[in-house]
């Protein structure tokens, strides 16, 4: 298939979407992510192995794709999406579809608005954290999503932008109607004072996520059960494939 797809965000959701698209014969894929693989992401990443820890996510996914589909044209871009660079990152690639698998709220809203306002087909991932029931996953336009806090926050930001009300109807979203019953566990006082004592590897420092870095194992992160990001990613890939094929 000579289609062109951009995947922005190569974490648990985005990596699975990219790998499935490559397995399905998509000819040209651009991968965009600034981050590197960490030990904590190995439970949900489609391509990451122990040897890939510290490697840029885009490079890990590209290497993995070429192991089973060397004919797929994979462009790995180690970059953070921003409106300043949006034309070079997105428009210049002339994508048939863009996948938003970003977990940063302002960046996510910027990407979705950028694509929708230019009539570039785009589908976004809702929040997979603290979700366990795969039967509650749904797909609809962003304006019709329910029970998903990430989608709710994104809707508010996109709606506030010029033409945002109409843009919400152009953006599709994979999300879950499941209401999370678990959240972050509170840190005890002695853990907050010296989180480094609770690191799992000598070379990886453990810090609160608010102070996070791509090479740090983060303490303050919402729990994710491994199958859910994979299901989200594959659902997104299925949506893209059926849309490109003109099938229901």
Its sign, for the CA torsion 137, 124, 15, 56, is negative
The pLDDT value recorded for residue 11 is 94
Residues 142-165 pLDDT 10s: 999 998 999 999 999 999 999 999
Mean pLDDT score across all residues of the chain: 86
CA distances in angstroms from 76 to 59, 62, 88, 231, listed in the order given:
6, 7, 13, 23
205 pLDDT exceeds 50?
no
Percentage above 70 pLDDT, the chain: 82
One of 3.60.15.10, 3.40.190.10, 3.40.50.720, 3.40.50.300 is the CATH number of 4-180+225-245, namely 3.40.50.720
Question: 63-92 as b/e, with b when 16 or more CB fall inside 10 Å?
Answer: ebbeeebeebebebbeeebeeeebeebbee
Question: Domain extents for the chain?
Answer: 4-180+225-245, 189-218
Query: Higher model confidence: residue 210 or residue 110?
Result: 110
Please work out, in degrees rounded to the nearest 5, the angle formed at the alpha carbon of residue 30 by the alpha carbons of 87 and 16: 130
Residues 20-78 pLDDT 10s: 999 999 999 999 999 999 998 898 999 999 999 999 999 999 999 999 999 999 999 99
pTM tops 0.85, yes or no: no
Backbone angles phi and psi of 73, in degrees to 5 = -85, 105
């Amino acid at each position: 298939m000579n289609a062109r797809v951009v995947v922005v965000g190569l974490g648990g959701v985005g990596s699975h979407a990219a790998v499935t698209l490559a397995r399905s014969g998509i000819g040209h894929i651009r991968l965009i992510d600034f981050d590197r693989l960490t030990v904590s992401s190995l439970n949900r990443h489609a391509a990451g192995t122990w040897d890939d820890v510290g490697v840029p996510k885009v490079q890990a996914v590209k290497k993995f794709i070429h192991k089973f589909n060397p004919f797929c044209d994979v462009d790995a871009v180690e970059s953070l999406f921003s409106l300043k660079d949006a034309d070079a990152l997105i428009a210049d690639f002339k994508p048939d579809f863009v996948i938003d698998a970003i977990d940063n709220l302002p960046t996510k809203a910027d990407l979705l608005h950028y694509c929708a306002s230019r009539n570039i087909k785009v589908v976004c991932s809702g929040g997979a954290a603290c979700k366990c029931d795969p039967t509650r996953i749904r797909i609809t336009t962003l304006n019709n999503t329910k029970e998903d806090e990430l989608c709710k926050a994104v809707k508010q930001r996109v709606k506030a932008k010029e033409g945002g009300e109409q843009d919400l109807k152009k953006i599709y979203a994979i999300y879950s109607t499941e209401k999370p019953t678990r959240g972050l566990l509170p840190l005890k006082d002695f853990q907050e004072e010296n989180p480094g004592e609770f690191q799992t590897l000598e070379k990886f420092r453990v810090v609160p996520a608010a102070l996070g870095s791509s090479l740090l194992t983060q303490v303050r992160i919402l729990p994710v059960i491994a199958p859910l990001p994979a299901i989200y990613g594959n659902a997104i890939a299925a949506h893209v494939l059926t849309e490109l094929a003109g099938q229901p």
